[in-house]
Structure 1
Amino acid sequence: MTPAVVNSGTQTGGSGTLSADEDARKSRRALLAATVGGVVESFDWTVYAVLAPFFAVQVFPGDDPVTQLLGAYLGFAVGFVVRPLGSYLMGRIADARGRRFGLTLSMAVISAASVLIAALPTAATIGAAAPVLLVVLRLVQGLSMGGENPSAAAYVTETAPRALRFLYSAISYSGVIIGNVLSFGVLTLLLTTLGKDGVTGGGWRIGFLMAAVLGLLALWIRRGAQESEEFTAQAAHRPTGAERRALLRTHARHLAAVFLITLGATVGYYFGTTYLPQYAAQLGVASAADSAAAMLPPLLVLIAAMAGVGRLADRLGALRTLRTGLALLAVGTVPLMTALAHRTLPMWLVTVVYLLLIAAPIGLANVLFAQLFPVAVRVVAMGVPFTLATGLFGGTFPLLAQALGKAGQLTLVPWWAAGAAAISFLGTYLVRASTTPSATHATSLSTREDHA
């Protein structure tokens, strides 16, 4: 039953028109609250990586720039390591206290950590304490970010109009792409206005301050959003620890499905949005700088494609659409990259087509994963396998690809990406065909009755 039906006539003397309009406004505000979090999370994550070459010499002691940069990248890596733990800890909070509370808490912590990084004393001032503090702050951010995406996915699943659920999924995840674009835009702006020496001399702090400002904006938007009615309806029937563990064991098949589907999706995402310029440079078909600068139009195409795929999934079914997307990704990756290597297709066309291939896997997964699990354990159940697969396979993909290139095996990179997509395709068959929004809702209701 949708909220519009529940509220019909309660505010309009029986017409129901105002209630439907109000319900639509609430859904759009919930979508904005979820999407803006993706923007901030992605911006924080990416701006650290792009600014690392500039702040490393100030924050990490020593005279070797390579060692200092490696230290900065260590701070980047630890965030991936703790994300699964963050998914569990923050997920428990969101499953117990509510989606809105979890989303607000995670954003507040992420923003506070960005402010502290911006104000971090240099190694020349406090010595080895500077890198230690930086790593600690990145650990805190990683824990919070581990719960951010799963909480947002659960919130969208529970607040989106049923007929537009996967369109909302795609739009909410597009915030991640927007955050990437903004981070590179900020770097370009800083280098243009301050120059390389100015950014290295302290201008990098502006990037983290901008991350904090974006976080505060997201925090303000989220504080005005309402809790999902689906969560509120079950809040009085919280399961005990033993009951939560029993629910997770019951859904072990879907826990495995989330992990396997995420594996291919995250490899495809990092290949298409992060490593592809470097891959083209190693092939000798384009410089990394030129390829990176040309990424903006394809990324905008990706956002539009995700929305289109989301609308298609609402009409034809999410599982069928996702399965088709993964099959095309598995089959199309190697021929596409072979065409790039042989200069049969230009770099811009390969980039656009590959990003179109990953639109379904990354645009539909959020809500599809969330609706596989009962409300009582939804954030933890989807979040832990999702972040674990992302950390193990997405976060390590650029490193693995670079190592293969250095070993003279660059042609294996697209085969690895295609193989990962094939594994994800097979993983979709772990999802029970009967798992639909209505079926999940029924499961949640039966869980409530068992616990009552």
Structure 2
Amino acid sequence: MQVDGALAARPGRAAVSMKGRRELIAGAVGGIVESFDWTIYAILAPFFASQMFAGEDGLTKLLSAYAGFAVGFVVRPLGSYLLGRIADARGRRFALVISMATICLGSLLIAVLPTAATIGVAAPVLLVLLRALQGIAMGGENPSVAAYITETAPENRRFLYSSLSYTGAFIGNIVCFVVVGALMAVMGEQGVTDGGWRIGFVVAAVFGVLAFWVRSSAAESEEFESEKQVEEPRPKVREHLRNMLAVFLMTTGTTVGVYYGTVYLPEYAAQVGVEHSVATNLEMVPALLALIAAMAVSGLLADRFGGMRVFRVGALALAVGTVPLMTALAQGWLPMWAVATCYLVLGVAPTTAVANVMYSEVFPVAVRVVAMGVPFTLAIALFGGTFPLLAEGLAALGSLTAVPWVAAGTAVITLLGTWVFKRG
């Protein structure tokens, strides 16, 4: 199997290509909901921490809230395995519908969860359990989408479809920043802290219902259906350990880049002295729009020149560009919107645009979601999900300048992983 070249012809492939756009929409809407749900928690954590966690120290409450953010990532590998088994046995669409229903339910329950003043320690316990439930669902979400898009995209547009499906995640980020900005503008910081934050989770639940409806009407992957008819011994996951290791290594720096550039950057800007306001969150919107455009361009370039070449360009940009950009932000040499745009367009876009299809294609259809998903979500759990918590911890210790170096170091690991990756 060759990653950077055209796929061999498969039964029913032409028919799949004709309806690939519908499957693309079904995959992308899930990304919108997933990223909105995940990002809304991280951005609103400073506002709801004082209500949902007991105690007097504000920093301890905030760190506890970010710990809840990390817990959702810790369980993602479990969700990737459980839902991956379902996706590989029952179908991609079936697993995607289940994951979306679970994510939607979790957001709705968080929106109505009583505070610590009302139910005591049960409040943070329930909050963390709901985030864990969503984390399990999200663990199977991205790998299932990756397999779904890989198996339904047109032959010569695989990486473009990969990039467009992943843009759903950043569209969700944009909508999230707009919603939070609107809440801050209408209710003020105190109003959001006093309960306005719940509106964000209500919006997340509504988006989840819409995505559930779209996915319920989508068709199953014909490549998966064809594979089910083949009476041959199923491949073993352990036969693909090298590429599973490569996926893990290549995801480390990319996931840190995503969460640094799209989730934590406004808080980091505030930590280095950039005034935190409604405008700080809204400044992320043009940067994210530029990211979406850059991802589409990266997908087109990957279809022309190869996914690995484009991926390595992005990983190199993250490795050598993170520290200079964040230094420029801290010193006031560049405004936040410029730093965010450069970081996302040059580093995050090329890596995230091609990763889904590039990862999933090297694994057989019968074990594709599990083999790609477990190392992918494990890297996200260890590096992406813990990044805001790690960054806040370093800031509390007076070592905020170490944060960009940590991000750059993980990008170096990603570059090393590209030479472990076996295409063939």
TM-score, reference length from structure 1: 0.84
Aligned-partner Cα distance in 2 for 1:98–1:423 = 33
RCO comparison, higher one (Cα < 8 Å, 6+): 2
Find 1:359's aligned residue among 346, 349, 373: 349
1:356-405 superposed Cα distances (whole Å, 9 cap, x missing partner): 12211111111111111111111111111111111111222233334444
Q: CA deviation at 1:63?
A: 5.7
Aligned residue in 1 for 2:418: 428
Contact in 1 for aligned 2:247/2:359 (Cα 8 Å): yes
Aligned-partner Cα distance in 1 for 2:116–2:357 = 44
Contact in 2 for aligned 1:38/1:173 (Cα 8 Å): yes
Contact in 1 for aligned 2:53/2:64 (Cα 8 Å): yes
Higher mean Cα deviation, 392-401 or 171-180? 392-401
Residues 2-401 of structure 1: pairs in structure 2 closer than 5 A: 6-7=14-15, 23-24=17-18, 26-61=19-54, 66-237=59-230, 243=234, 247-284=236-273, 286-289=274-277, 291-357=280-346, 358-401=348-391
Aligned residue identity for 1:423: I
Contact in 1 for aligned 2:69/2:385 (Cα 8 Å): no
Higher mean Cα deviation, 362-371 or 400-409? 400-409
Question: Aligned in 2, Cα 1:194/1:123: closer, same or farther, shift over 3 Å?
Answer: same
Q: Can you give the 5+ residue segments of structure 2 that lack an aligned partner in the other structure? A: 1-8
TM-score, reference length from structure 2: 0.89
Contact in 1 for aligned 2:177/2:285 (Cα 8 Å): no
Q: Secondary structure at the match of 1:120?
A: coil
Higher mean Cα deviation, 287-296 or 425-434? 287-296
Q: CA deviation at 1:41?
A: 0.6
Question: Aligned in 2, Cα 1:406/1:170: closer, same or farther, shift over 3 Å?
Answer: same
Q: CA deviation at 1:323?
A: 1.7
1:179-214 superposed Cα distances (whole Å, 9 cap, x missing partner): 112122222223333444543444333222211110
1:268-324 superposed Cα distances (whole Å, 9 cap, x missing partner): 22222233344444444x334454431111111011000000010011111122122
Contact in 1 for aligned 2:180/2:200 (Cα 8 Å): yes
Q: Can you give the 5+ residue segments of structure 1 that lack an aligned partner in the other structure? A: 8-21, 435-452
Q: CA deviation at 1:38?
A: 0.7
Aligned residue in 2 for 1:13: none
1:89-136 superposed Cα distances (whole Å, 9 cap, x missing partner): 111111111000000000011112222222323444444333332222
Contact in 2 for aligned 1:238/1:376 (Cα 8 Å): no
Q: CA deviation at 1:421?
A: 1.6
Q: CA deviation at 1:66?
A: 4.9
Q: CA deviation at 1:422?
A: 1.9
Question: Aligned in 2, Cα 1:281/1:56: closer, same or farther, shift over 3 Å?
Answer: closer
Aligned-partner Cα distance in 1 for 2:352–2:13 = 31
CA-atom RMSD, angstroms? Answer: 2.5
Aligned-partner Cα distance in 1 for 2:341–2:50 = 36
Contact in 2 for aligned 1:96/1:238 (Cα 8 Å): no
Q: Secondary structure at the match of 2:422?
A: coil
Aligned-partner Cα distance in 2 for 1:123–1:333 = 39
Aligned-partner Cα distance in 2 for 1:61–1:163 = 55
Contact in 2 for aligned 1:111/1:215 (Cα 8 Å): yes
Q: CA deviation at 1:411?
A: 3.9
Higher mean Cα deviation, 224-233 or 133-142? 133-142
Aligned residue identity for 1:274: V
How many residue pairs get matched?
414
Question: Aligned in 2, Cα 1:58/1:331: closer, same or farther, shift over 3 Å?
Answer: closer
Question: Aligned in 2, Cα 1:337/1:204: closer, same or farther, shift over 3 Å?
Answer: closer
Q: CA deviation at 1:429?
A: 1.2
Task: Give the fraction of aligned pairs with identical amino acids, expressed as a percent.
Answer: 60
Aligned-partner Cα distance in 2 for 1:75–1:140 = 12
Q: CA deviation at 1:345?
A: 4.3
Q: Secondary structure at the match of 2:75?
A: helix
Contact in 1 for aligned 2:170/2:292 (Cα 8 Å): yes
Q: CA deviation at 1:29?
A: 0.9
Bigger radius of gyration, 1 or 2? 1
Higher mean Cα deviation, 290-299 or 218-227? 290-299
Aligned-partner Cα distance in 2 for 1:6–1:410 = 53
